[in-house]
Amino acid sequence: MRRIWLIFSQAVTVGLALYFVVATLRPEWVERGEPLRPTVILGQATPSARPPSDASGGGGYRLAAQRAAPAVVSVTASKAPRRSAQNDEAWRRFHFGLPRRGQRGEDDGDEPGGQTGLGSGVIVSADGYLLTNSHVVAGASEIEVQLSDGRQAKARLVGSDPETDVAVLKVELDGLPAIALGDAEQLQVGDAVLAIGNPFNVGQTVTSGIVSALKRTQLGINTFENFIQTDAAINPGNSGGALVDDQGRLVGINTAIFSRSGGSLGIGFAIPISTAQQVMQALVRDGQVARGWIGVQTRELTPEFAEAFKLTVREGVLISAVVVNAPAAKAGIKPGDVVTKVGGTQVLSPADLLAAVAALKPQSSAAIAVQRGDKAMQFELTVAQRPLPGARD
């Protein structure tokens, strides 16, 4: 019996040693696949799983680029005359880079007459739906896309949401190479990512980097911000292109850069695919994104204000103004009130309040918890639909 046990233990030891050698030298021989996880696009279930490792032994991100690149297209938008010279400086800074003093900033591939805008887009379904940036196709009278295989087609603008800078296009072509969707919520700082697009109209280009930061807000680019920050080179013309993970799955739509020269300085921003997908579904279904609105202007609640007005709360959002005849005004909310909860969701900043209210369904009822001086109050109101940009006071 002792001899049998000795033989067994030696066999196990040798087997484990062989396993570790193989796992080190040929990891693809022992890698276990992950189960398929359905990703819903427009009501259809599309498998989204971790693709197999590069069995060919190629280094870098070769397979990730090969998987994602065919789904990234160049977008050409014929537009009305160039925008006014008094464009919002923050918008230009982040989308196109702030030019050096005395130099002219270039839009995403705009020619001097401003008649043609160039950007990128991503095919996200085989039936012809593409994601791009709203600012790439804003004001376009005609849109054309060019695939990496050389095919060209006219694109129809399904809808656009300037407040997230997401637009949806539709093309009528067969055999479209739809990209696999990743999970932006699983990204972590330090994860490898690739940016794919058509910078400076030189043709499709792949750059690599890492996730530099997550949930970037208060940049003054969009109304609703939750950006992925990356140091993968993003340049004018990349707008609307793909940010993919190291397996070639789409995790973001590239939208903006921070630059003083118009070129990449290693600070780029992408819209998480989770946000872009939600907007896409609303645009395809309804032609617009319906968000809640109660009609208030807000400020951060500072310790000085809380102390001066003898508030019993130190967390919440200060109401600085209320729009006349808006839902908040009709309910009795006043300037100086501090909103602490919206429909049971705690709010700690103006961005929290904006997101919580926007998530409410228009024409629904909502409870707003407010602190007024030393009194805790609650108001019931009927949520209105958020006006389109430019239509609000």
Selecting among 135, 212, 337, 352, the annotated active-site residue is: 135
Query: Which residues are within 8 A (CB) of 16 and not within 5 positions of it... i.e. 6 or more apart?
Result: none
Active site residue 264: no
Amino acid at 295: G
Selecting among 125, 239, 259, 264, the annotated active-site residue is: 239
Active site residue 165: yes
Query: Which residues are within 8 A (CB) of 254 and not within 5 positions of it... i.e. 6 or more apart?
Result: 120, 195, 197, 234, 238, 239, 240, 241, 242, 243, 268, 269, 270
Query: 29 — phi, psi (to 5°)?
Result: -75, -25
Active site residue 374: no
Selecting among 165, 245, 337, 352, the annotated active-site residue is: 165
Residues assigned a catalytic role: 135, 165, 239
